[in-house]
Amino acid sequence: MTKDEALFEFLLRTGDNGLVLAQRLGEWCGHAHQLESDIALTNVALDNIGQARMALTEAGKVEGKGRSEDDLAFHRTEMEFRNNLLLEQENGDFAQTITRQFLFDVFQFELLSGLKSSSNEFLQSFAIKSLKEVTYHRSLSSDWMVRLGDGTELSHDKMQNALNLLWQYTGELFEKTEADDILIADGVIPDLEKLKESWDDIVGQVIKEATLEIPDTKGFMATGSRRGEHTEFLGYILAEMQYLPRTMPEAKW
Amino acid sequence: MELAEREKEFQEKIDKGQKIEAKEWMPENYRKQLIRMISQHAHSEIVGMLPEGNWITRAPSLRRKAVLLAKVQDEAGHGLYLYSAAETLGIDREKMIEQLITGKAKYSSIFNYPTLTWADIGAIGWLVDGAAIVNQTMLARGSYGPYSRAMVRICKEESFHNRQGYEIIYELANGTPEQKKMAQDSLNRWWGPSMQMLGPSDADSKNSAETMKWKIKVESNDTVRQRFIDRTVPQAIAAGLTIPDPDLKFNEETQHWEIGDIDWEEFYQVIKGYGPCNHKRMKARQDAEAEGAWVREAAAAHAEKKRNKKAHQAA
Ligand SMILES: [Fe+2]
Ligand SMILES: [Fe+2]
């Protein structure tokens, strides 16, 4: 694997994470429990779509085959998507949406903090710009974790259920492939294993404050996205997202 | 001071073009008319998020997706300003939302039409936001300060909405034959409802006389509609689309576009609840309220716990 191939892989992962999450958050639009949350969730979706566009555009450049952000977003199949499994999971109720958001935000914050000193110029400026956004996302989702975890009995149960469901998808965030090893050795991306330590730390603190418990998955963690093996959800997300450009491949929008 | 005297003084202020502020005395009916109009306007912003939100996950390019998200988010923001403007008149948001989901309050009937194709997202921005701009620019000159200021703020964003909508339609109308067909079909479906959107002729509108006397509205529905038609017809022509009205013609003498009859029967039918999406839109709002109840309760419970903790620490 060449260095460019490794970088392409990482940029796809980053872009796809933003895109798939924005797609999920977009489903909420107009249906949240109050206007302020509608606005906040849309804000997060907008930031994620912005990050996705930057990363996918750069991925196209690095690949060197003339593919645009839209070619990559709308004309790849399930197995070619590299987003983490966590992000394609269903919205469920607000508890599930916020828990998914929180687990990802803490990861993304750590990743971007590491990328600020990347040896790659694009990733460096990408990190500086995106970190401001993700700092806000992380504080929004952490606040809701605590508010709902330590709210009523009902909200507490819903949050614990959401954690129980989603925890199995967190291990995969830190998985390393050949591409990661190449990029880490070159100082392009931070060591994912090291990110895990601070992630554990922060996630643990918030969960404790929220009076929730880290579920015991008996060591089980879901895996697969690095190889393009996703959960059943991704196929539906792409079917919906891609249908129009695929139906009319000649058309410009 | 006697009531009649107060009312006379109030009318004089209005006639001089002074703005009325929240804390000033106002006739009970002035307050009622404003609450009706502003809350109806706020509900329209919120319900209006639904037909467009419907296409966020299916927008055909990432740029369009981002623009649509930003646009729908603006509408939520408009809802917020407007609920706050109504709150200055002594009604709270909860009460207004209850009126919406129990069907006591109305919202703009145009949002009871479906967005069937991507072109409908263009048509909404171009026609619905276009009509809204013309109407809101007029309302910005109205007599109630908080409402008029909310309108000024909102209008700035509406021109972005209008532009992105027209851009979508223009691109489609000048795209492949299939896309052009999509654009024309969408215009065919949205033209009638957008003619109805600015309301019946003032002679037939029971609220108009009063709202115009108090300068809540400063121009008639027909005047506003004419302005909307005059700016929209040339845009359709420029995009290469045909306005679906065989009676449409330009009057050289008056320099205005004249249209055929507006289907008011359809308008009243939709208002009464028999439009294509009335049930779906109401259900979406009712579900959001019902399914969000536990979140609002939990947030309140958590805030209460925090307050108690603080009080405890202070003691
Ligand atoms: Fe609006
Ligand atoms: Fe708008």
pLDDT in tens, A136-170: 999 999 999 999 999 999 999 999 999 999 999 99
Q: Give the burial class of B212: count Cβ atoms within 10 A of its Cβ; 0-12 exposed, 13-18 middle, 19 or more buried.
A: middle
Q: Whole-angstrom Cα distance, residue A166 to residue A96? A: 8
Whether the predicted pLDDT of B187 surpasses 80: yes
CB of A71 less than 8 A from some CB of B: no
Identify the residue whose tokens are 């958001």: A101
Q: Whole-angstrom Cα distance, residue B89 to residue B136? A: 20
Give me the helix-helix angle, A153-166 and B278-314, nearest 10°: 110
Task: List B residues 77-96 in contact with A (Cβ-Cβ < 8 A).
Answer: 77, 79-80, 83
pLDDT in tens, A7-23: 999 999 999 999 999 99
The overall average pLDDT reported for chain A is: 97
Q: Whole-angstrom Cα distance, residue A131 to residue B55? A: 29
In this prediction, residue B2 has a pLDDT band, given cuts at 50, 70 and 90, of: confident
How far away, in angstroms, is A224 Cα from ligand 1 center? 43
The predicted pLDDT at position B35 comes to 97
Question: How confident is the model over A88-111, as a mean pLDDT?
Answer: 98
In this prediction, residue B208 has a pLDDT band, given cuts at 50, 70 and 90, of: confident
**A and B: number of Cβ contacts within 8 A:** 139
pLDDT in tens, B62-110: 999 999 999 999 999 999 999 999 999 999 999 999 999 999 999 999 9
Task: State the SS3 of chain A.
Answer: CCHHHHHHHHHHHHHHHHHHHHHHHHCCCCCCCCHHHHHHHHHHHHHHHHHHHHHHHHHHHHHCCCCCHHHHHHCCCHHHCCCCHHHHCCCCCHHHHHHHHHHHHHHHHHHHHHHCCCCCHHHHHHHHHHHHHHHHHHHHHHHHHHHHHCCCHHHHHHHHHHHHHHHHHCHHHHCCCHHHHHHHHCCCCCCHHHHHHHHHHHHHHHHHHCCCCCCCCCCCCCCCHHHCCCCCHHHHHHHHHHHHHHHCCCCCC
CB of B290 less than 8 A from some CB of A: no
Q: Whole-angstrom Cα distance, residue A245 to residue A75? A: 8
List the structure tokens of B58: 């299916």
Residues 6 or more apart whose Cβ sits within 8 Å of residue B222: B201, B202
List the structure tokens of B72: 């729908």
Question: How confident is the model over B247-257, as a mean pLDDT?
Answer: 98
ipTM of this predicted structure = 0.97
Q: Whole-angstrom Cα distance, residue B122 to residue B179? A: 12
How far away, in angstroms, is B199 Cα from ligand 1 center? 17
Residue of B nearest to A24 (CA): B57
pLDDT in tens, A177-230: 999 999 999 999 999 999 999 999 999 999 999 999 999 989 899 999 999 999
How far away, in angstroms, is B151 Cα from ligand 1 center? 9
Tell me the chain A residues in contact with residue B302 when contact means C-beta distances shorter than 8 Å.
146-148, 150-151
Of B57, B76, B287, the CB nearest to A240: B57
Give me the helix-helix angle, B264-271 and B177-196, nearest 10°: 80
Whether the predicted pLDDT of B203 surpasses 90: no
Q: Are strands B249-251 and B256-258 parallel, antiparallel or unpaired?
A: antiparallel
Backbone dihedral angles phi then psi of residue B257, each to the nearest 5 degrees: -80, 135
The predicted pLDDT at position B205 comes to 74
How far away, in angstroms, is A209 Cα from ligand 1 center? 39
Number of residues written out for chain A: 253
Residue of A nearest to B171 (CA): A253
List the structure tokens of A33: 């429990």
The predicted pLDDT at position B80 comes to 96
List the structure tokens of B288: 């959001």
Question: How confident is the model over B194-208, as a mean pLDDT?
Answer: 87
Whether the predicted pLDDT of B169 surpasses 90: yes
Task: List B residues 99-158 in contact with A (Cβ-Cβ < 8 A).
Answer: 118
Comparing C-alpha atoms, which of B41, B58, B46 is closest to residue B120? B58
What domains are there in chain A, each with its CATH number?
Answer: 3-247 (1.20.1260.10)
Whether the predicted pLDDT of B315 surpasses 80: no
Q: Whole-angstrom Cα distance, residue B82 to residue B147? A: 7
